[in-house]
Structure 1
Amino acid sequence: MSDLLDAIAGVPNACEPLPGLVCGGQPQPQHIANLKRAGCEVLLDIREAMEPQPIRVPDDVVAAGLEYVKIPVGHSRGSDATLARIRETVKELVDKQRKAFFYCSSGNRVGVTLIPYLMLDRGSEEADAVTTAMRCGMRSAELMEWALEYVKREQGAE
């Protein structure tokens, strides 16, 4: 287990799908300090603005010395632009080897929005990408279909 994954112990659906990228549900205040000590640089939050959070974002995150990135994802299908933005953000974090924590309330939306990156940029097969997404907390068939349809459209454009 990595230091980053140890730092989010107790977070719902905590996992490390890629080296240096940990994912899961809502962190508690102690997780922010733990992440900083573990070498985390960036928090990628895809929760909607109206969702309750036990931490003040971005204030608590920035005060801890972490970069805060917000890309809201709802509980129903969103736009291709949202998936593209998350895909590009994850790609940049991984390519630059910036340690990051990617979260929503439960991990469901995190898992879903990782699928395009895993398939289009990492070359994962659909079954493997879906398995990884489920490890991250994905449970919504509707959102999974949204991500897979996006992948198919992008593959057709290449």
Structure 2
Amino acid sequence: MSELLDAIAGVPNACEPLPGLVAGGQPQALHIAALKRAGCEVLLDIREKMEPRPVGVPDDIEAAGLEYINIPVGHARGSDVTLARIRETVKQLVDKKRKAFFYCSSGNRVGASLIPYLMLDQGFEQEEAVNTAMRCGMRSAELMEWALDYVKRHTAST
């Protein structure tokens, strides 16, 4: 287990889908400090504005010396623009080897929104990408279909 993954022990659906990128559900304040100690640089939060936030964002995260990025994803199928923003953000983090924690409230939306990046940029086959997304907490068939539809529409353009 990596130091980064150890830092989010206790977070729902904590996993490390790629080296240097950990994912899962809502962190607590103790996780923010542990992530910083483990070398994490960025927290990518895809919760919507009105969701409960046990950790003050962005203030507490930035005070801990971490960069905070929010790209809201709802609990139902969203737009291609949203998936494209997440895909590009994750690509930049991975390409620049910036350690990051990618989260929502449970990991459900994180898992689904990782599928396009895993398939289009990392070369995962669909089964491997879906299994990885499920380890991150994906449970919604609707969100999985949204992500896979995006991949189908963008496969020819990659």
Question: For this structure pair, what is the TM-score category when the shorter chain's length is used for normalisation?
Answer: over 0.9
Deviation per residue, 1:103-140 (Å, 9 max, x gap): 00000000000000000001110000000000000000
- Match of 1:135, as an amino acid? R
Deviation per residue, 1:72-116 (Å, 9 max, x gap): 000001000000000000000000000000000000000000000
TM-score by length of 2: 0.99
Alignment-derived partner of residue 92 in structure 2 = 92
1:157, 1:91 → 2: CA distance? 16
Alignment-derived partner of residue 24 in structure 1 = 24
The alpha-carbon deviation at position 58 of structure 1 amounts to 0.1
SS of aligned partner of 1:113 = helix
Matched, 1:115 2:96: no
2:15, 2:155 → 1: CA distance? 27
SS of aligned partner of 1:157 = coil
Alignment-derived partner of residue 104 in structure 1 = 104
1:2, 1:19 → 2: CA distance? 8
Unaligned runs of 5+ in 2: none
1:7, 1:156 → 2: CA distance? 38
Deviating beyond 3 angstroms after TM superposition, the runs of 4 or more aligned structure 1 residues are: none
Matched, 1:77 2:77: yes
Alignment-derived partner of residue 59 in structure 1 = 59
- Match of 1:98, as an amino acid? R
Unaligned runs of 5+ in 1: none
The alpha-carbon deviation at position 32 of structure 1 amounts to 0.3
Query: Cα RMSD between the aligned structures?
Result: 0.6
The alpha-carbon deviation at position 156 of structure 1 amounts to 3.1
TM-score by length of 1: 0.99
Query: Among the aligned pairs, what percent are the same residue?
Result: 80
- Match of 1:138, as an amino acid? M
Alignment-derived partner of residue 68 in structure 1 = 68
